[in-house]
Amino acid sequence: MLNASDALRAHMYCKTLIAQCLQQPSYCMDYFDFKPHHDCPLMQFVRECEHQHGDWLEIGIVKSAHQNFHAQTMDLAQKKLSNEPVDIDAAMSPNSNWSNASAALIASIWRLERKLHSMAG
């Protein structure tokens, strides 16, 4: 079974790839999929939790936070692909919507992990 650390590593890896891609010229971005991948370790972790504890609010919060992070990502990518002016450095700054969405996802994963541990103890 995957755990929160696996999910967080997957998110950080994905976030790094997204950041690198968004910093490239728009013609290089056509080959990158910014949508959430349902087979990634983060979503595998969520599905495993959902299988055992499907009624937990924390699971829905993680799913929503994951969708929001990718929605923020796709919004940035769409602007860049449409040749709208986008300051990627500002869009990825620590207090940007994108970074806040990532932080919310990370916090939701830890809340779910804490609940799992509280039920195990």
Torsion of the alpha carbons at 98, 101, 106 and 108, rounded to the nearest 10? -170
Domains of the chain, by residue range, sit at 4-120
Report the pLDDT value the prediction gives residue 91, as an integer from 0 to 100: 95
Indicate if the pLDDT at residue 31 is higher than 80.
no
Q: What is the pTM of this model?
A: 0.91
Residue with more model confidence, 27 or 77: 77
Compute the mean pLDDT over every residue in the chain, rounded to the nearest whole number: 91
Q: Mean pLDDT, to the nearest integer, of 14-36?
A: 83
pLDDT (average), residues 25-38? 77
pLDDT digits (tens, 9 = 90+) for 32-64: 778 777 888 999 999 999 999 989 999 999 999
